[in-house]
Amino acid sequence: MTAQTEVFDAVSVIAAKRDGKALTDGQIDWMIDNFTTGAVADYQMAALAMAIYLNGMDRREIARWTAAMIGTGERMDFSGLRRDGRSLATTDKHSTGGVGDKITLPLTPLVASYGVAVPQLSGRGLGHTGGTLDKLEAIRGWRADLTNAEMFDQLERVGGVICAAGSGLAPADKKLYALRDVTSTVESIPLIASSIMSKKIAEGTASLVLDVKVGKGAFMKTEQQARELAETMVALGHDSGVNTVALLTDMSTPLGRSAGNALEVAESLEVLSGGGPSDVVELTLALAREMLTLAGVDADPAEHLADGSAMDSWNAMIAAQGGDPAAPLPVAQHTLDVPAAASGVLTGLDAMGVGIAAWRLGAGRERQGEPVQAGAGVTWHAGLGDSVTAGEPLFTLHTDTPEKFDAALAALDGAATIGENPQPRDSLILGRVSA
Ligand code: URA
């Protein structure tokens, strides 16, 4: 029987996966297509997502599921990009999401400053990790929604674009992600890998660097899980002609010294000025090196942070999207300092606690479409291994809605561990996966 003459129904596809069977190509194509058009009900797809969560999918199933999701929408093509008559290499980065993860902000203009096109199609945040677009929307005038023609023009003229992913890319994923979010089926390696890679392959970048987060603040809590996710995504990219590399990076501790929209833009500007927290700089440079190598550029990206080229590239990128790079960033109307409970050395800072506190203060949203506060969030005044003094501020909370302070304080309860012996932080980079 061929795929065309086979007859499918949602109940038997769900039952097959419930019973631990591998789905056929025909079953996968039929389910994704009919879910996208609405012929398969949300509750049926939710049941299948839970069966996949519990019983997994093999590599063939994941590849077919990803291809089927790509097939539900448009596929972009950047191969025609030119500058000064030369064809432009494209490269992109995707992070699986972390607290204080503002790396896209300094990384995109940094890589673009080497004459590479960086189409960074991003999303808004939901839950405890912030969204890149929410951060940039803290800049006066900046707009996330570009037409494809505007995006292509900006890539050719400026090099870097961070903008909203249009609804035409893998629409099945958008629908499925919303269901997974409310059915506790997000943390599944086949579903995460196919979700991320369907969008990235449809986006049309020639190469891709994945930042796969590991630790308490990440979807993947262990290095082994993160490696499996990374290997799955690298294989999907490779098989679709996208040269893909993944770094496994630590997300047990939040990145930098702030979580919150305008607060993270300010920290990114410090990095672009040649300063900033050492962990943010380390990760920005590690990812930039990978992206430049994939784009065929042999350079040390630290040079363009030091000489101002990356900052020039940022100013051009922000201005091209209507933003005023010189405008002061919004600040929250209320702040509250939280003192260290003891003197000693900061030996732990729980990424999840910090992320939830920032979210409760108004930096994130509970439901899609809600507004976020530009100035809200958390700053911490010590990094791992730094000395802290009892009674001195360890955190500062920022919000326009001070009635949220108590809920944020509850999330931070026990988030900081203070010990006696200095334990310098190891490298953030835990591993690398390539095809
Ligand atoms: N990001 C995505 O785009 N999809 C997932 O499933 C998880 C993180």
pLDDT tens digits, one per residue of 373-412 = 999 999 999 999 999 999 999 999 999 999 999 999 999 9
Residue-level pLDDT at 71: 97
Closest atom of ligand 1 relative to the 123 alpha carbon: 3
CB of 194 sitting under 6 A from ligand 1: no
Cβ(361)–Cβ(378) under 8 Å? yes
Cβ(388)–Cβ(382) under 8 Å? yes
Among residues of the chain, what percentage have pLDDT more than 90? 88
Ligand 1 centroid to Cα of residue 137, in Å, is 21
- State which of 93, 195, 232, 236 you would mutate to test the pocket of ligand 1, scoring each by most atoms of that ligand within 8 A of its C-beta: 195
pLDDT digits (tens, 9 = 90+) for 193-240: 999 999 999 999 999 999 999 998 888 999 999 999 999 999 999 999
Residue-level pLDDT at 171: 95
Residue-level pLDDT at 126: 62
Is the model more confident about 208 or about 129?
208
Stated length of the chain: 435
Ligand 1 centroid to Cα of residue 108, in Å, is 20
- State which of 57, 192, 220 you would mutate to test the pocket of ligand 1, scoring each by most atoms of that ligand within 8 A of its C-beta: 192
Average pLDDT estimate for 65-89: 96
Residue-level pLDDT at 4: 54
Which pLDDT band, with edges at 50, 70 and 90, does 333 fall under? very high
CB of 112 sitting under 6 A from ligand 1: no
Ligand 1 centroid to Cα of residue 348, in Å, is 27
The residue whose C-alpha atom lies closest to atom 3 belonging to ligand 1 is 196
Residue-level pLDDT at 128: 67
Ligand 1 centroid to Cα of residue 267, in Å, is 25
- Structure tokens belonging to residue 318: 């922000």
The residue whose C-alpha atom lies closest to atom 6 belonging to ligand 1 is 192
* Mean pLDDT score across all residues of the chain: 94
Closest atom of ligand 1 relative to the 191 alpha carbon: 6
Lowest mean pLDDT among 12-21, 97-106, 140-149, 178-187: 178-187
Average pLDDT estimate for 60-65: 98
Ligand 1 centroid to Cα of residue 97, in Å, is 8
Residue 130 has pLDDT above 80, yes or no: no
Say which residue the tokens 């990219």 belong to: 237
CB of 96 sitting under 6 A from ligand 1: yes
Residue 422 has pLDDT above 80, yes or no: no
Ligand 1 centroid to Cα of residue 288, in Å, is 22
CB of 126 sitting under 6 A from ligand 1: no
The residue whose C-alpha atom lies closest to atom 5 belonging to ligand 1 is 192
SS3 string, the chain, reads CCCCCCCCCHHHHHHHHHCCCCCCHHHHHHHHHHHHHCCCCHHHHHHHHHHHHHHCCCHHHHHHHHHHHHCCCCCCCCCCCEECCEECCEEEEEECCCCCCCCHHHHHHHHHCCCCEEEEEECCCECCECCHHHHHCCCCCCCCCCCHHHHHHHHHHCCEEEEECCCCCCHHHHHHHHHHHCCCCCCCHHHHHHHHHHHHHHHCCCEEEEEEEECCCCCECCHHHHHHHHHHHHHHHHHCCCEEEEEEEECCCCCCCEEEHHHHHHHHHHHHCCCCCHHHHHHHHHHHHHHHHHCCCCCCCHHHHHCCHHHHHHHHHHHHCCCCCCCCCCCCCEEEEEEECCCEEEEEECHHHHHHHHHHHHHCCCCCCCCCCCCCEEEECCCCCCEECECCEEEEEEECCHHHHHHHHHHHCCCEEEECCCCCCCCCEEEEEEC
Residue-level pLDDT at 90: 97
Dihedrals φ, ψ of 71, to 5°?
-65, -15
Cβ(256)–Cβ(178) under 8 Å? no
Give, in order, the Cα–Cα distances in Å from 412 to each of 291, 315, 378: 35, 35, 10
Residue-level pLDDT at 166: 81
Ligand 1 centroid to Cα of residue 345, in Å, is 35
Residue-level pLDDT at 2: 46
Is the model more confident about 13 or about 7?
13
The residue whose C-alpha atom lies closest to atom 8 belonging to ligand 1 is 96
358 strand-pairing partners: none
Residue 11 has pLDDT above 70, yes or no: yes
CB of 192 sitting under 6 A from ligand 1: yes
Ligand 1 centroid to Cα of residue 99, in Å, is 15
Closest atom of ligand 1 relative to the 195 alpha carbon: 4
- State which of 176, 196, 219 you would mutate to test the pocket of ligand 1, scoring each by most atoms of that ligand within 8 A of its C-beta: 196
Residue 1 has pLDDT above 80, yes or no: no
The residue whose C-alpha atom lies closest to atom 7 belonging to ligand 1 is 192
Residue 424 has pLDDT above 70, yes or no: no
Residue 103 has pLDDT above 60, yes or no: yes
How crowded is the C-beta side of 97, counted as CA atoms within 13 Å?
Answer: 21
Residue-level pLDDT at 127: 65
Residue 123 has pLDDT above 90, yes or no: no
Say which residue the tokens 């911490």 belong to: 380
Cβ(363)–Cβ(377) under 8 Å? yes
Catalytic residues, which ones?
94, 173, 180, 195, 199
